[in-house]
Amino acid sequence: MKKVAIVGASGYSGEELVRLLLAHPHAELAAVTSRQYAGQTLAQVFPRYASHPRAKALRFSEPVADVLAKQADIVFLALPHGVAAEYAGPLLQAGCVVIDLSADFRVKSATVYKEFYAHDHPAPDLLAKAVYGLPEIYREQIRKASLVASPGCYPTSILVPVIPLLKAGLIKETGIIADSLSGVSGAGRKAELDYLFVECNESVRPYGVPKHRHLSEIEQELSLAAGTKVTIQFTPHLIPVNRGILTTLYLAPAEHFTDANGAAKLGEKIAACYRASYGDEPFVRLLEGKTLPDTKNVVGTNVIEIAWRLDPRTGRLIVMSAEDNLVKGASGQAVQSMNILCGWPETAGLI
Amino acid sequence: MKKVAIVGASGYSGEELVRLLLAHPHAELAAVTSRQYAGQTLAQVFPRYASHPRAKALRFSEPVADVLAKQADIVFLALPHGVAAEYAGPLLQAGCVVIDLSADFRVKSATVYKEFYAHDHPAPDLLAKAVYGLPEIYREQIRKASLVASPGCYPTSILVPVIPLLKAGLIKETGIIADSLSGVSGAGRKAELDYLFVECNESVRPYGVPKHRHLSEIEQELSLAAGTKVTIQFTPHLIPVNRGILTTLYLAPAEHFTDANGAAKLGEKIAACYRASYGDEPFVRLLEGKTLPDTKNVVGTNVIEIAWRLDPRTGRLIVMSAEDNLVKGASGQAVQSMNILCGWPETAGLI
Amino acid sequence: MKKVAIVGASGYSGEELVRLLLAHPHAELAAVTSRQYAGQTLAQVFPRYASHPRAKALRFSEPVADVLAKQADIVFLALPHGVAAEYAGPLLQAGCVVIDLSADFRVKSATVYKEFYAHDHPAPDLLAKAVYGLPEIYREQIRKASLVASPGCYPTSILVPVIPLLKAGLIKETGIIADSLSGVSGAGRKAELDYLFVECNESVRPYGVPKHRHLSEIEQELSLAAGTKVTIQFTPHLIPVNRGILTTLYLAPAEHFTDANGAAKLGEKIAACYRASYGDEPFVRLLEGKTLPDTKNVVGTNVIEIAWRLDPRTGRLIVMSAEDNLVKGASGQAVQSMNILCGWPETAGLI
Amino acid sequence: MKKVAIVGASGYSGEELVRLLLAHPHAELAAVTSRQYAGQTLAQVFPRYASHPRAKALRFSEPVADVLAKQADIVFLALPHGVAAEYAGPLLQAGCVVIDLSADFRVKSATVYKEFYAHDHPAPDLLAKAVYGLPEIYREQIRKASLVASPGCYPTSILVPVIPLLKAGLIKETGIIADSLSGVSGAGRKAELDYLFVECNESVRPYGVPKHRHLSEIEQELSLAAGTKVTIQFTPHLIPVNRGILTTLYLAPAEHFTDANGAAKLGEKIAACYRASYGDEPFVRLLEGKTLPDTKNVVGTNVIEIAWRLDPRTGRLIVMSAEDNLVKGASGQAVQSMNILCGWPETAGLI
């Protein structure tokens, strides 16, 4: 058993980490922090978990790095970008493993960070230390990491389906379009008019067009996979569900095809590529037959579903993915990284 | 006052026609048909309209073309494709104006119809007579029509924003992608498991990938606008709202641009094109400033909202539209055509 | 045409008043106020109404009683309780008619007001002037009123079905229970965590148990109808819909019955009572046959639906009502009062 | 490890049983039946569970009692009432333990069954054998049972909070009112128009007023607790959530109270009664302080939340409960009974 702490445990990602870590077979939730709820028990703040004995005993505390370092071996940071980095340094120095769910250590370049997040990077010296926490791509690096930059929800839904195709040279690195639909929890637990029930229910809307912050990490990782700079089009939309991201990707196959025969031949290569990449992955579900991704089949789980279709009319490859933005897109993936780091079964506490 | 009838008034489009026609200042709802509800009053089948005096008096009847032709000057067909065409012939011959909300007369070629709808066209001789009922494009033709093929919900959300750009030569006719999100009423009032509340709520899913039936009319109309054959990529998704379609269009400008300056110059042309095309249209709302389309702002109205953004990073034009699939995407547009046809104010009964 | 103004036009009731008054045949929307949005046009704040020519011209202003009195003949106050009363005095003195949607003038006793609203009444001298704006009960008084206290959403859903039964002596005045379910717009457009989409969606909860503020006006009006002090049980619940209130009332008939025969005899009296009271009311829909109220059949309309059942097993009368909390429960009812006051058709602008 | 089977595994309760039994530490899911899906794997029918190895191997079969008896030690019947009883007899005779989620064995009297279910009881001789599977009340009887009649969703939400109060004589057995709100999954996975997304979303409605079938088992169990015949008022409502039941109970305390002091004294007795009854129950959560039940805090769990308030204005006791209709209200409770029956920890596979 290792002791774990969550800094910023009162947002939606933090709440989901609480759920996962209370039930984890090898981790003991030793501390949770929240400026807003300091002094209250987990059971008071999250009645949902009140039946768990630990939830009645554990009280939220103020986030103080020194204190946390004594309480926990592993610290999850579920804080806004800019703030997370302030905690990472002291915690690392005190010997903790840090798994950061913010954007602070995902982008390797402080310049790119500033371009997309509009302020100087708060701890540029730590950037080289950070491992991008996408287990399906960086499992070996995560195993040895002390600072994991857990990926964003949109990036996960795009990178998992696209990276193998880019690496295998099956698609062109130009012209990639990602059209994503996200549940409202993706906006965080923020008391803003835009996210009121009445403003979101019976509403669908794009936002952040055309330059969303997540593009920085998406393009970085796609570029690494392609071996050349990749620029993509990305449009996020807000839809009235609590959880879930559905991403539809428009890709140009490297190989030209114009009919069903061509599609069948190319299809075999794509299927083989996905099978080779993800056939044994516990949290990637390659859909077969006529099944298409549906967020309701992944919500509450750490699974990402992937399906694809070749269109002989346009010569394009359409890939679709579905995930729970708070699990595979955030807290579940962070726990998956912890499992790898600690040498536990990768699925511990996740199924 | 003209007498109007609705054949197939118990589906969602039919129900919406009932709402619009009960309140129309120049039309009198003379007959509604439904095999399922024949004998019952409008008030019994649709309690929502029960406070309208006409709703208590008017009873659903069996759909019989001869009888309808005596009851009404204008007949709306809100029937499944294949069935609608059977009624159009006799009604036209009896001197009625027919406004068909099905797909039967939208595609000009019986061959294309068969390719997409998987059965022979039931009345190919009438195809030449039909006018595609998109008022913003075919207003003059509608004025003289006796058979109006009212457009589909997805096509409206795509054609209104794209046609002016194609006609003006501002975008390439290749590589067009339309990513659409539709409320569940788009699937019709059908007792199928897929559309149960529990199956749709907290769910988002693509469907009909990659060859949806609406492609036939979309590509026909885009080709006419472009003066050359246009093939597009189209992905519909089902989202948990009752009404509304949000379409995001990925377009390639004819003019290359790579920075903010280039975008500004091209932007002026696009803005001018839209203003010239739609500045005086009562039902097209060109959004300004930072506002993006949101289905909640058009639901229950005959308005289609349009906004666009140029992305200097990718050189692409993103156009977004929002409409109510049952109003501008179906019944409202059909009433708009009726208004034009009859020489009434185009907005009569629609605002 | 009379000139009307809305003070506090940016909340949900205010927004609904905007909708109704923009389309009203006899009223001209001359002014809208909002501290938050002062300077912006209606079209900017409510894109939904942007297609209306008036919405592009009319700008929100700061709420100043003197200025408003010059701009409008009739002023609607859509403000929080306590604040509304400050505007009523000066506006009345300047000769305006005031229709107040807050609770400030609904309760006739300043003592009861203080008990339920926890602060002194801000204008107790005006209380005697105010007419409770429930047209089905106080039509004649509204006709001559200069200050209308428009009823709350829950009270409307309870008073309309219960008052005729009390007046006719058909039910006991003791033991009344009202169990109400309200859509989230009832909580107002407030940026609070409790009303975020994620907190309301897939959630149902009672609140304000057992002493909700609306009890003060409900019991006042029931007592007046019964001719004796009535105390009721009232439990509101929050449910995940934008609009709509469904109230289920548990009542004790004055007459004992224990079987179907007894129920049939008593049922005739109840039916006759409702028919006599509401048979000619344009906005009360008495449901017949097996139909029960459903909020979806009244949303967007000024109608309240009523159905009732006698239960021979328990000897109780169950009455159920459905209304749109923002229309019949707020802004529609306020417009209905304006219509009466001004001598216009009572349904003007409401159907 | 015991082998278990689910007959009728394709409805919502069946699907939830699949979820719980796939993850159960002591049970092995050996067979699932469904006429509709016979031949398909669990993974094909429920993509949600497709990542579980067993879901790829296990195929739905036709329901044949003899075959099931060889495959499983324990058989769950998730079938409509009337049908379930046909399987119970042969399975019991073959030595299986049967846990029935239908209504067939909940009512002890075949006459009452016929009154409420409108057909003769299909296996009246088995009624005496059945134990009503409410663990908090009948734990000892369940331990020795071979036929468990697992309670309905509404009954659970009413019986758990009311029985201790009746047994302790703290409330009168007359005048009990239960007002319940249920998510749409309670209607089952049935392709009926009433349960389509568009018909349920943005809709709230009562139904089955005033004599719902569940009254038969509710009144039976309340009568047993009270030691005298109890007749209650029960009104179910359909609300637009997938899962969850919220019940508000209006009760008359045996002891008269008229002020805060009286309420405080009586409140101590009620609190003590609930603590004594449920203080150690793993699945009953007695809410403290200002917290009221909220379905979102119990959905997906086997917990029922209870809170109560005394109202000195009316002298009434209001008790509110929340549960997941498919877990504590159906499949979770059935698994809880299995755990008790088999001598496993009662919470096995349920937290």
| 3-class secondary structure, C143 | helix
Residue A51 and residue D202: Cβ atoms within 8 Å?
no
Does the N-terminal peptide bond of residue D53 adopt cis geometry, omega within 30 degrees of 0? no
Predicted confidence (pLDDT) per residue in B292-313, tens digit: 999 999 999 999 999 999 999 9
Q: How far is CA B126 from CA B5, B20, B150, in A?
A: 21, 28, 15
Residue C242 and residue A198: Cβ atoms within 8 Å?
yes
Q: Is D296 on the interface with C (CB under 8 A)?
A: yes
Q: Is D37 on the interface with B (CB under 8 A)?
A: no
Residues C129-139 as b or e (16 or more Cβ within 10 Å = b): ebbbbbbbbbe
Predicted confidence (pLDDT) per residue in A220-253, tens digit: 999 999 999 999 999 999 999 999 999 999 999 9
Nearest CA in chain C to B20: C351
Q: Is A326 on the interface with C (CB under 8 A)?
A: no
* Contact (Cβ atoms closer than 8 angstroms) between residue B324 and residue B300: yes
Q: Residue D324: name the closest of D16, D22, D6, D7 by CA.
A: D16
Residue C241 and residue A195: Cβ atoms within 8 Å?
no
CB nearest to B191's CB, from D185, D193, D242: D193
CA distance B150 to chain A (A): 25
Residues of A marked active site are found at: 153
Q: What is the mean pLDDT of residues D40-60?
A: 93
CB nearest to A237's CB, from B181, B199, B311: B181
Task: Confirm whether pTM is higher than 0.90.
Answer: yes
CB nearest to C285's CB, from B50, B289, B296: B50
Predicted confidence (pLDDT) per residue in C170-195, tens digit: 999 999 999 999 999 999 999 999 99
Residue B198 and residue D192: Cβ atoms within 8 Å?
no
Collect all residues of chain D within an 8 Å Cβ-Cβ radius of residue C296: 199, 202-203, 205
Q: Is D191 on the interface with B (CB under 8 A)?
A: yes
* Contact (Cβ atoms closer than 8 angstroms) between residue D310 and residue D257: yes
Q: What is the mean pLDDT of residues D233-257?
A: 98
Helices and strands: H and E segment counts in chain A: 12, 14
Predicted confidence (pLDDT) per residue in D172-229, tens digit: 999 999 999 999 999 999 999 999 999 999 999 999 998 899 999 999 999 999 999 9
Q: Is C284 on the interface with D (CB under 8 A)?
A: no
Residue A300 and residue D297: Cβ atoms within 8 Å?
no
Q: What is the ipTM of this complex?
A: 0.97
Say which amino acid occupies C310: L
The reply to whether B96 belongs to the active site is: no
Question: What pLDDT score was predicted for residue B351?
Answer: 83
Residues of D marked active site are found at: 153
Subunits in contact with chain D (3 or more CB pairs closer than 8 Å): A, B, C
Q: How far is CA C272 from CA C224, C267, C277, in A?
A: 22, 8, 8
Most A-contacting residue of B197, B205, B223, B292 (CB-CB within 10 A), to test interface: B205
Q: Collect the ranges in chain B with pLDDT lower than 70.
A: none
Predicted confidence (pLDDT) per residue in C102-117, tens digit: 999 999 999 999 999 9
- pLDDT of C351 higher than 90: no
Q: Is B258 on the interface with A (CB under 8 A)?
A: no
Nearest CA in chain C to A10: C193
Q: Is C40 on the interface with B (CB under 8 A)?
A: no
How would you classify the pairing of strands C147-149 and C177-182? unpaired
Question: What pLDDT score was predicted for residue B162?
Answer: 98
Phi then psi for B136, rounded to 5 degrees? -65, -20
Helix residue ranges, H only, C201-247: 215-226
Subunits in contact with chain B (3 or more CB pairs closer than 8 Å): A, C, D
- Residue D198 tokens, joined: 């568009």
Nearest CA in chain B to A211: B311
pLDDT band at A351 (very low <50, low <70, confident <90, very high): confident
Q: Chain A to chain D, count of Cβ pairs less than 8 Å apart?
A: 44
Q: Is D229 on the interface with C (CB under 8 A)?
A: no
Q: Is D202 on the interface with A (CB under 8 A)?
A: yes
Nearest CA in chain D to B239: D197
Q: Is A290 on the interface with B (CB under 8 A)?
A: no
Question: What pLDDT score was predicted for residue C51?
Answer: 87
How would you classify the pairing of strands C74-77 and C2-7? parallel
Residue A296 and residue B320: Cβ atoms within 8 Å?
no
Q: What is the mean pLDDT of residues A271-288?
A: 97
Residue B196 and residue D191: Cβ atoms within 8 Å?
yes
Q: Is B12 on the interface with D (CB under 8 A)?
A: yes
Residue C51 and residue B283: Cβ atoms within 8 Å?
yes
Cβ neighbours of B174 (radius 10 Å):
12
Residue C201 and residue A198: Cβ atoms within 8 Å?
no
Collect all residues of chain D within an 8 Å Cβ-Cβ radius of residue C294: 203-205
The per-residue DSSP string of C76-117 comes to EE---TTTHHHHHHHHHHTT-EEEE-SSTTTSS-HHHHHHHH
CA distance C298 to chain B (A): 6
How would you classify the pairing of strands B2-7 and B27-33? parallel
The per-residue DSSP string of D79-105 comes to --TTTHHHHHHHHHHTT-EEEE-SSTT
Residue A309 and residue B209: Cβ atoms within 8 Å?
yes
Collect all residues of chain C within an 8 Å Cβ-Cβ radius of residue A240: 197, 201
Predicted confidence (pLDDT) per residue in D238-247, tens digit: 999 999 999 9
CA distance B230 to chain A (A): 10
Collect all residues of chain D within an 8 Å Cβ-Cβ radius of residue C231: 313-314
Most D-contacting residue of A24, A48, A287 (CB-CB within 10 A), to test interface: A48
- Angle between the D332-342 and D12-22 helix axes, to the nearest 10 degrees? 50
Q: What is the mean pLDDT of residues A177-199?
A: 97
Exposure of B295 in the CB half-sphere (CA atoms within 13 A): 32
Residue B301 and residue C50: Cβ atoms within 8 Å?
no
Predicted confidence (pLDDT) per residue in A62-121, tens digit: 999 999 999 999 999 999 999 999 999 999 999 999 999 999 999 999 999 999 999 999
Burial level of A125, CB count in 10 A (0-12/13-18/19+)?
exposed
CA distance C39 to chain A (A): 20
| 3-class secondary structure, A41 | strand
pLDDT band at D67 (very low <50, low <70, confident <90, very high): very high
Predicted confidence (pLDDT) per residue in D97-141, tens digit: 999 999 999 999 999 999 999 999 999 999 999 999 999 999 999
Question: What pLDDT score was predicted for residue C275?
Answer: 98
Collect all residues of chain D within an 8 Å Cβ-Cβ radius of residue B36: none
Q: Is B202 on the interface with C (CB under 8 A)?
A: yes
CB nearest to D202's CB, from C202, C241, C320: C241
Q: Is A202 on the interface with D (CB under 8 A)?
A: yes
Most A-contacting residue of D24, D51, D285 (CB-CB within 10 A), to test interface: D51
- pLDDT of C98 higher than 90: yes
CB nearest to D47's CB, from A282, A283, A291: A291
Collect all residues of chain A within an 8 Å Cβ-Cβ radius of residue C192: 191
Q: Is B206 on the interface with A (CB under 8 A)?
A: yes
- pLDDT of C316 higher than 90: yes
Residue C197 and residue A196: Cβ atoms within 8 Å?
yes
Which entry of C96, C153, C200, C342 is annotated as an active-site residue? C153
Q: How far is CA B268 from CA A211, B159, B161, D319, in A?
A: 20, 21, 16, 64
CA distance A197 to chain D (A): 12
